[in-house]
Amino acid sequence: MADSHAKHHDYHLVDPSPWPVVGSISVLIMAIGGVQMLHDGAPWVLLIGFAGVLYTMLAWWRDVVKEAVQGDHTPVVQLHHRYGMILFIASEVMFFVAWFWAYFDASLYPGEAIQASRTELLGGVWPPQGIETFDPWHLPLINTLVLLTSGTTVTWAHHALQHDDREGLKWGLILTVALGALFTVFQIYEYQHAAFGFSGHIYGATFFMATGFHGFHVLVGTIFLAVCLLRALNGHFSSQQHFGFEAAAWYWHFVDVVWLFLFVVIYILGAGAPGAH
């Protein structure tokens, strides 16, 4: 009888899970709360839905980690996980393409771009008249070096894991998480000292949307790697099976590459005259 229930394939048949239903209901509640806020309603419904989404993510990923520890993620399952992660990163690439497109549309044709809250044109120049941009060679350059260094430390951690070097894995992840947190702190400081705001002109809108969403991705990636650090300290990864860490490393390198494009396009090529800094 037991032999009839033995698994004779490389696939993992997931046990019935409540999280798709719970997550869908939470998203619905969050959407209703968002609509209420657009009509000057209280934010409580939105916050309740958001809390449900966060709990769903936590519980669902906890179950996936348990599956990995139990050995349910066979080589075939891991291959499909990699396909899924590749498609996810591809969707993220297109997400940032939209913000770059908006920035290029406004910057390459400033004579046609109209300010968000006014009717006059931008004066035919980019950055718009009256905008004092950041000096790319000060804090933005420091943040670039911080993020590039974090890319080397996460690669070090990955290399150490592949060679069963647990100490190298631990310290590589610790440094990467610390550098990711440092990047976030520097970006918050930069935003606090910006000479322009989000509203009132297309420059501020495109700048804060592009760099702000990147900052959000850095925060998510830092949490992703912090979870990997906790799992590594508990001995969850091996040189043969470590897709959770591998996915986090891919995501982190994607964040690095996006920042390089942002730094070159928005901070360097989009900078105003030196006297405006």
Two structure tokens written together for 151: 């890319």
Average pLDDT, the chain: 88
CATH code reported for the domain at 73-276? 1.20.120.80
Longest dimension (CA), the chain: 82
All structural domains of the chain with their residue ranges: 1-72, 73-276
Nearby residues of 264 by Cβ (< 8 Å), 6 or more positions away: none
State residue 15's pLDDT score. 83
Tens of pLDDT, residue by residue over 152-165, are: 999 999 999 999 99
Q: pLDDT, tens digit, for every residue of 173-230?
A: 999 999 999 999 999 999 999 988 888 778 899 999 999 999 999 999 999 999 999 9
- The topology under which CATH files domain 1-72 is Helix Hairpins (1.10.287)
